[in-house]
Amino acid sequence: MKKQICIVGSGTAGLQLAYALKEDFEVTVFHANSSEKMRSGRIKSTQVHFGSTRTRENRFQMPKWDDHDPIKSIHVTIGDQKLFTGMLKEDALSVDQRFYFSQCTEDLKSKNVSFHEEKIEKGLLEALVKEYDLVIDCTGKSGPLFSFPIEEEFTPFRVPQRKCIVGYFLGIQPNHPLGVSVTVLPEIGEMFEIPAVTEQGPVTILFIMAVPDKELDLFKGIKDADEFTTKMKSTAKNYFPAIHERIDAQNFSLSDENAFLQVAIKPEIRKPFEMFNEKLVVGCGDSVFLNDPITGQGCNLASYCAEQLYETLIEFKHLKWDEKLGRSYWNRIKPHVKEVTEWTNAMTQPLPQHVIQTLLAGAEDQTKADQIAEWFADPQMAHEAFFEKSSI
């Protein structure tokens, strides 16, 4: 008989795990919202999936998306000085998670994965743990459900370092070559412009990361879509003129009434396993590895850890599932979690001089510019550039 696995949460980590595990195990997913509620609800993220994440999605035969206009580059500007456009080795893609999650859920249901629409409360954990061979906590930033211990070494902040202000817009002429534009305004925040795919077609995401209570923290208390749009337009005009120039005033609008979001994340890294009533439980994704979105790594890290958890479970398929399995999973992923986390935390602070010099060098040399673009696809390179002061 196949072992029974329960996944709580159907986001990036939970869905990829369901795809990966469904052939070797009996998989049941508990999700807080139906596909229909997800599709018609509020946007959740900006979700750029880089090459290695897309390779994993193909490996586990996840749905294919319209990628006629993939993300090919990273445009870097500091202040009002455009430094360079670095080309990515592999195309990236941002698919609206409302569309992505609901499509994956329906596809998995058709492939015999059981879905139960139920928000799991802590009181239910005992019964779940008893019923299944393994419970995987994929509850994202609202988690974790279990008390996985915080790894203090990787959790230096007590408060969020940025306010995330996101809207999906129509009426912006895309940048060229199509890519993510990163504009750093030292001491006050950043803007990320991201081309994305939604169920209704292409949009441009404008994603402001404002240092709390500094000049760019302009959206306090805004809950209304029209007010949000007006504020985004004036903010682009005053702080991001290169983006503002590409806005078509007549057609500039949110792509739908739920296409805006404000959130602030307090980064927190936890040990992703524990024994609960003498049985192993594990965590995957934001529930245990919650970083600030500033480096766009959350989905990519969730996908990486999902694949590594799958590999660990396959290795232990015919062995006992206990603390040893949990430790093996954590040992596999810890180096990568460390690289992503330390780089991301460093990006929320003033950039070190040697990193600024590296960015300036990218303006003079296309090979260096391409290597810097690759930081986002391969965070190990970014970690080296920040912490080993390697000259790229």
Judged by CB under 6 A, the chain residues 252 through 271 that form the site for ligand FAD are 263
Q: In the complex, what is the shortest distance from the CB of residue 237 to ligand FAD, in angstroms, rounded to a whole number?
A: 22
Q: Between 28 and 368, whose beta carbon lies closer to ligand FAD? A: 28
User: Cβ–Cβ contacts within 10 Å for residue 79, how many?
Assistant: 10
Say if CB 114 and CB 239 are below 8 A apart.
Answer: no
How is residue 328 annotated by DSSP?
A: H
Does residue 14 interact with ligand FAD by CB under 6 A?
Answer: yes
Q: Between 142 and 173, whose beta carbon lies closer to ligand FAD? A: 142
Rounded to the nearest 5°, which phi and psi values hold at 381?
-65, -40
Site pattern 42..81 for ligand FAD (x: CB under 6 A) = ---xxxx---------------------------------
For residue 207, the cross-strand partners are 166, 192
Does residue 138 interact with ligand FAD by CB under 6 A?
Answer: yes
Q: In the complex, what is the shortest distance from the CB of residue 271 to ligand FAD, in angstroms, rounded to a whole number?
A: 16
The 3-state DSSP class for residue 38 equals helix
Neighbour order of strands in the sheet with 26-31: 114-117, 26-31, 4-8, 134-137, 279-283, 273-276
Residue 118 to residues 15, 52, 97, 102, 222: CA-CA distances in angstroms? 16, 32, 19, 16, 31
Does residue 120 interact with ligand FAD by CB under 6 A?
Answer: yes
Q: Between 138 and 313, whose beta carbon lies closer to ligand FAD? A: 138
Q: What is d(CA 219, CA 163) in angstroms, rounded to the nearest whole number? A: 9
Q: Between 144 and 326, whose beta carbon lies closer to ligand FAD? A: 144
Q: Between 91 and 322, whose beta carbon lies closer to ligand FAD? A: 91
Closest residue to bound ligand FAD by CB: 11
Which of 35, 105, 139, 229 contacts ligand FAD by CB under 6 A? 139
Q: In the complex, what is the shortest distance from the CB of residue 386 to ligand FAD, in angstroms, rounded to a whole number?
A: 18
User: Taking each helix axis from N to C terminus, what angle separates 366-377 and 353-364, rounded to the nearest 10 degrees?
Assistant: 130
CA dihedral over 187, 75, 201, 111, signed as positive or negative: negative
Which of 88, 166, 280, 381 contacts ligand FAD by CB under 6 A? 166
Q: What is d(CA 101, CA 62) in angstroms, rounded to the nearest whole number? A: 11
Judged by CB under 6 A, the chain residues 269 through 328 that form the site for ligand FAD are 285-287, 293, 296-300, 302
Contact residues: ligand FAD, CB under 6 A: 8-14, 30-33, 45-48, 119-120, 138-143, 145, 164, 166, 263, 285-287, 293, 296-300, 302
